[in-house]
Structure 1
Amino acid sequence: MADVIEKKRNKYVYVNDKKGYLFLKRVIDILGSIVGLILFLPISVLISIAIKIEDPKGKILFCQERVGINNKTFKMYKFRSMVSNAEELLKDISELNEMDGPVFKIKEDPRITKVGKFIRKTSLDEIPQFFNILKGDMTLVGPRPPLVCEVDNYGDYEMQRLTVKPGLTCYWQIGGRNSIDFKKWVELDLKYIEERNIFVDIKIIFKTFFVLFGDENAS
């Protein structure tokens, strides 16, 4: 059984990069992100005000370097959900990591603010990524964009996650999120890369609405 699993992990996935599919995917990305920005504009204003009230010194948006398609880096946007010096405090809590592999995640991260806890629980902190989608750095559906330090620890198998644009949602988002270990996370991403088409993308987008808001695995 172990030999079968290892053989699977050494397998190189097929990437659906047909021009027709990519064109339709981009159209859906543009329309979807515009609708998303308009739809969430009122709540985005409220979130911005709440973030500033709780921590006036910090910025409303959190900008972080992430790795996208073909190992190219870009600036990813989120509503700030942590204290303003969160990056500096990371080294002090690194031993609390609850995820295996080159990923840092803990459910009760002490750096998360009260507002941050709410917007993470409801995934509202991801709203600014619609701008990343409009810019073309991201897509609505695709593997979540990893940090540069995480990619530094990738092997050839994991690097296949970077053969497509990173996305706002994917199988990992609707399948358990933080309850899924890193190996399973990569398997789900590669499963999507092999299976992706317009119908799969639309199915994942619809499932995301029902799963993310109030998902007990979100943090």
Structure 2
Amino acid sequence: MKFSQEFLDTLKTLLLNQNFLDRVIFLILTAGVSGLFIPHVLKGIDARKLRAKMEYEADLKRSANIVDAQINLLENISKSLWELQLLALAVCYYKVHSNSEKYIAAVENYDVKSWDLFSNIRLEISKAARLVSNDLYNQLLYFFEENLIKRIDETLMPLIQKGDDTLSQEWEKQYDFLLYKLPIEIDERVITPLAEELKLSSSQKNKPKSRR
């Protein structure tokens, strides 16, 4: 390929120009450094993006685990409370209605199962310590001790141990407590406060009315 004399003269002039040479050298050096540096920059950006993504996914997993724990707490404590209420109620029901055979069976059933249910409820309350406020945790503890241990077991067992075949005022009082008052207490002092604090509550349910 042949170049015109004018082109060759122009090229010679540029090559002899120091500013032009400096610019050419600068561009060559810049291209070389960029070729080495830019991949490292991009790699660093990708690493930060990956780390941020992993942290975000870990936060989501922790949040999901907390929600699962909250749901399980509400479901488990509700299930155990209602099982205990029905277990104790059966004893009083058959005693009040003078069904001796089923009363004896209900007493045996209560004796076998009640303390497992008490244990399960107390365990769930312990789990609640890390999921609910201190005030609600203390409220659950108080409910367990006053409404369950004292008002169910420590009241029911002496009645059973008396072995009195006649219907007594104490049996009627305990029957009314288990049938009418305790369900309201379970809803108002345990299930509803837990559901509200854990943000798991739905529409307001109709509450049972006390017989007395």
TM range (shorter): under 0.3
Indicate the structure (1 or 2) with the bigger Cα radius of gyration.
2
Q: TM-score by structure 1 length? A: 0.25
Query: When you count helix as a share of all residues, which structure comes out higher?
Result: 2
